[in-house]
């Protein structure tokens, strides 16, 4: 636990992986290692040695914070056993000099740790020395025991740059997590060298001017065990990434996050056709067109849908398109006219959450809730988080645009929009 910085928000998922990978959890015949690790965490929470910071939508613990005294004890114990060294200054072998002031690199010697299973790389604030980028040595491809590799804004070397290295590379069959790497090239050869990857997080900052097509996004399909994929793009180059963004995704994918790209309808069909997709987060993106109408049979297992800051204007859908949806979250959707009223007919829907959306969207959500209540469904909640000035700026325009798909009466929407405005204007208690 001492490996994390002081007062750092520790996410439970990688922590559990770390405990399992390092052999801290002893196996029992009737329980899996991950389940045993979760029991250990629950015990620490009950003893007030760690504090719950955040929970998921389903109530599961998402992140924790370690007590200062426990962290100091862990650091002292780790130092005594020569298990962990906290590197916090230039004296521990970081590159020095003007050329390396803002560029951090891990030493090649780390690749000699042939049995290393988990590597967490964080950038600690060290004044002018704090690197903007972190670079892994090329010999990282020769570490077959690696299970979890988590970065803080780092670059993973591309093996084909050196043919000799590529010939000596081993299949990283134990690698399950590769998170927060920059400009990662998804060639078929690279995908095949990590066949058991379950979680992948990539950011494309596109500094080198590389053609978008060279990243080969269509090769994600070769990661047949991948469950979680997060891709972030430079939003200023959405035209470029749209042209090359031809998705092919593994059928096992459960969670998908796309940030800062332009989504074609072809790609939305690919996403919607994933048979196991449960969570979809679309942030700061544009649709290729202003109207979204899902095809029949898409998003059959989707439970959580987040749409954040989009150009979307018209959304047509019914309960057959998202039959398992539980939570709909719309943020900064100022162009969207309304939520499809049929969304309210989804029996599993528990929450509609809105943040800084137009008053017409707010009104449509309130109408959905009102109609469900009239049918005896009091379980649907609508949560509105909107700045009063923002809502006011969209108020008159929204009222002119909104018309009920189930009724031609604009006065009812006007009523609901006024209620939404007054609700947002009410002082917080």
Q: Which domains does the chain have, with CATH numbers?
A: 10-80 (no CATH), 117-124+138-425 (3.80.10)
β-bridge partners, 119: 149
| pTM over 0.85, yes/no | no
Instruction: Check residue 17 and give its pLDDT.
Output: 77
Instruction: Check residue 92 and give its pLDDT.
Output: 43
Give the chain's residues under pLDDT 50: 89-103, 126-130, 161, 164, 239-240, 243-244, 388-390, 395-411, 424-425, 429
Instruction: Check residue 105 and give its pLDDT.
Output: 63
Instruction: Check residue 381 and give its pLDDT.
Output: 94
Instruction: Check residue 237 and give its pLDDT.
Output: 57
How remote is the C-alpha of 193 from its chain's centroid?
24
**197 in Cβ contact with 226 (< 8 Å):** yes
Cα separation of 195 and 132, whole Å? Answer: 30
Cα separation of 153 and 121, whole Å? Answer: 9
Instruction: Check residue 207 and give its pLDDT.
Output: 61
CB atoms near residue 331 (< 10 Å): 17
Instruction: Check residue 199 and give its pLDDT.
Output: 92
CB atoms near residue 314 (< 10 Å): 15
pLDDT tens digit string along 226-260? 999 998 887 665 544 554 457 789 999 999 998 88
**318 in Cβ contact with 324 (< 8 Å):** no
Instruction: Check residue 187 and give its pLDDT.
Output: 85
Instruction: Check residue 28 and give its pLDDT.
Output: 79
Cα separation of 61 and 55, whole Å? Answer: 4
Pairing mode of beta strands 327-331, 314-315: unpaired
Spatial CA neighbour of 337 closest among 358, 311, 306: 358
Instruction: Check residue 349 and give its pLDDT.
Output: 94
How remote is the C-alpha of 114 from its chain's centroid?
30
């Amino acid at each position: 636990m001492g490996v994390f910085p002081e007062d750092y928000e520790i996410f439970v998922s990688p922590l559990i992986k770390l405990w399992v990978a390092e052999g801290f959890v002893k196996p029992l015949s009737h329980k899996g290692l991950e389940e045993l690790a979760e029991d250990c965490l629950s015990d620490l929470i009950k003893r007030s040695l760690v504090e719950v910071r955040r929970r998921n939508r389903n109530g599961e613990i998402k992140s924790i914070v370690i007590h200062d005294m426990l962290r100091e004890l862990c650091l002292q114990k780790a130092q005594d056993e020569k298990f962990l060294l906290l590197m916090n200054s230039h004296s521990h072998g970081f590159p020095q000099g003007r050329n390396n002031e803002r560029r951090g690199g891990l030493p090649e010697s780390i690749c000699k740790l042939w049995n290393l299973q988990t590597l967490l790389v964080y950038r600690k604030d060290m004044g002018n020395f704090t690197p903007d980028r972190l670079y892994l040595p090329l010999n990282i491809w020769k570490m077959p025991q690696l299970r979890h590799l988590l970065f803080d804004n780092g670059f993973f070397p591309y093996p084909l740059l050196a043919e000799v290295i590529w010939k000596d590379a081993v299949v990283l069959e134990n690698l399950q997590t590769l998170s927060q790497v920059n400009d990662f090239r998804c060639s078929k050869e690279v995908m095949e060298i990590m066949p058991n990857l379950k979680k992948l997080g990539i950011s494309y900052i596109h500094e080198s001017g590389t053609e978008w097509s060279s990243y080969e996004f269509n090769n994600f399909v070769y990661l047949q065990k991948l469950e979680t994929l997060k891709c972030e793009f430079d939003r200023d180059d959405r035209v470029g990434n749209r042209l090359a963004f031809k998705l092919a995704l593994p059928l096992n994918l459960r969670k998908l996050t796309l940030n800062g790209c332009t989504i074609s309808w072809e790609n939305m069909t690919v996403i919607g056709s994933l048979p196991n997709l449960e969570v979809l987060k679309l942030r700061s993106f544009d649709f290729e067109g202003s109207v979204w109408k899902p095809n029949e049979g898409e998003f059959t297992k989707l439970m959580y849908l987040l749409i954040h800051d989009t150009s979307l204007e018209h959304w047509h859908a019914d309960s057959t398109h998202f039959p398992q949806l539980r939570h709909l979250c719309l943020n900064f959707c100022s162009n969207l006219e309304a939520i499809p009223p049929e969304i309210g007919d989804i029996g599993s829907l528990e929450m509609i959450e809105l943040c800084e959306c137009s008053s017409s969207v707010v009104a449509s959500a309130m109408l959905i809730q009102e109609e469900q209540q009239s049918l005896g469904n009091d379980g649907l909640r609508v949560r509105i988080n909107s700045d009063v000035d923002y809502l006011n700026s969209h108020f008159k325009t929204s009222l002119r645009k909104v018309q009920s798909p189930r009724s031609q009466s604009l006065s009812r929407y006007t009523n609901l929009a006024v209620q939404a405005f007054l609700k947002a204007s009410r002082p917080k208690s």
